[in-house]
Amino acid sequence: MDLNLSYKTNLLALENLVLVMLDQDITVIPRESSWFGFYKEKDIDVIVPYNESKLYTEDRIGLRTLDETGRLHFYTMKGRHMTYDWDVLKQLIDLYFK
């Protein structure tokens, strides 16, 4: 598989990558893909967490580097697709983008 190194270059230029998953999302499937998780190959009953994927272990787009340097952050919000808790979202913005 050819890798587009610009993805890695651009992600590694970030100060922080903040990933938010909605706990009742039925539009993003699997919802764990909000955190770069995905189905195990040939088994849709098992979700492979982001840090066990080749994308992470081979650091294909810089996720492992972001994680190891403390710049990868995960949050879960209550709700369905696009029904953000604006107070929590504002707190995240204040925490990471000011």
* pLDDT tens readout for residues 18-53: 999 999 999 999 999 999 999 999 999 999 999 999
Closest among 19, 6, 20, 14 to 66, alpha carbons compared: 14
Alpha carbons 57 and 62: distance in angstroms, whole number: 10
SS3 annotation, the chain? CCCCHHHHHHHHCCCCEEEEEECCCCCCCCHHHHHCCEEECCEEEEEECHHHCHHHHCCCCCHHHHHHCCCEEEEEECCCCCCCCHHHHHHHHHHHCC
Average pLDDT in the 84-92 region? 91
Alpha carbons 21 and 81: distance in angstroms, whole number: 9
pLDDT at 90: 94
Average pLDDT in the 4-26 region? 94
Place of tokens 């066990």: 52
pLDDT at 1: 58
- pLDDT value at 3 more than 90: no
